[in-house]
Amino acid sequence: MKKKINAPLFKYLALLISLLATASFLLFASPSGKALLMLQIAMGVLYLFFSVAEFSNALTKMTLPYDRFFYMPYSLVSRKLIWLGALSIASAMLWVSSSGFVFLALFLTIIIGADILVFALKVKQKVFYVSLFANYILFSLEQEQKIFASTIDKIEYRYDIFYLNLKDKKTISIITDRLNENQKHIFIEKCTQWILRNKITLTAEAAEKLKEYASFQ
């Protein structure tokens, strides 16, 4: 089977090269300003290319035959806004800088544009989702995360939110209001059935609120 390129790794490698090249220019005046500018443009183009490749890899999985429920939790949106905000502030400061770091501003501007473009494409194509498999739940957000039934101690359910309390004391929440309205009740029903099949402990409150979706013993 042909292996896919590790797009996220190469994205951040391009960022690292740009930072190192800029530091080298400031410390040793090498490479030259013109060469550094061309390098920053090249790294920016590579960052854009691997960002699109990352999106393409995610889009390929959308053709696989399993249920996906489009899911955009507030944490995903807030992290993206914080990241873009930080880059925007850094880029603005670098543009007005009189130091060699002004070369890095162009690269950061390309990164901002690439990240906005790819994030918009991901939302449009609904590549952010949660899926229920036989013995695990898959979260496909900025990164993929599998939560296996065997790692769950108990599940709470209140205010339309599933709280997966893991055996390592961590808690993963699924906010069903962040699902598409026409998928919300389907997901709750399938998640309830998934809980039953995997014999996961529910709190008394959760069992009471989910009894319309299944009969608990």
Predicted confidence at residue 215, as pLDDT, reads 56
Residue 203's φ and ψ, nearest 5 degrees, are -70, 160
Structure tokens at 98: 């009189």
Query: Running DSSP on this structure, what letter comes out for residue 171?
Result: E
Q: Which residue numbers in the chain have pLDDT < 50?
A: 1-3, 216-217
So what's the pLDDT on residue 138? Answer: 94
Q: What is the pLDDT of residue 142?
A: 84
pLDDT of residue 191: 94
pLDDT of residue 3: 47
Q: State residue 63's pLDDT score.
A: 72
Q: Where are the domains of the chain?
A: 7-64+73-121, 129-209
pLDDT for position 112? 92
Complete DSSP assignment for 104-163: HHHHHHHHHHHHHHHHHHHHHHT--EEEE-SSEEEEESSSEEEEEGGGEEEEEEETTEEE
Q: How far is CA 138 from CA 19, 68, 153, in A?
A: 35, 9, 17
Alpha-carbon distance 115 to 52, whole Å?
A: 9
Query: Between 2.30.29.30, 2.40.30.60, 1.10.3210.10, 3.40.980.10, what CATH number should domain 129-209 receive?
Result: 2.30.29.30
Alpha-carbon gap, residue 58 to 53, rounded angstroms? 9
Confidence at residue 217, expressed as pLDDT on a 0 to 100 scale: 46
Give the DSSP per-residue string, 63-85.
TSSS--EEB--HHHHHHHHHHHH
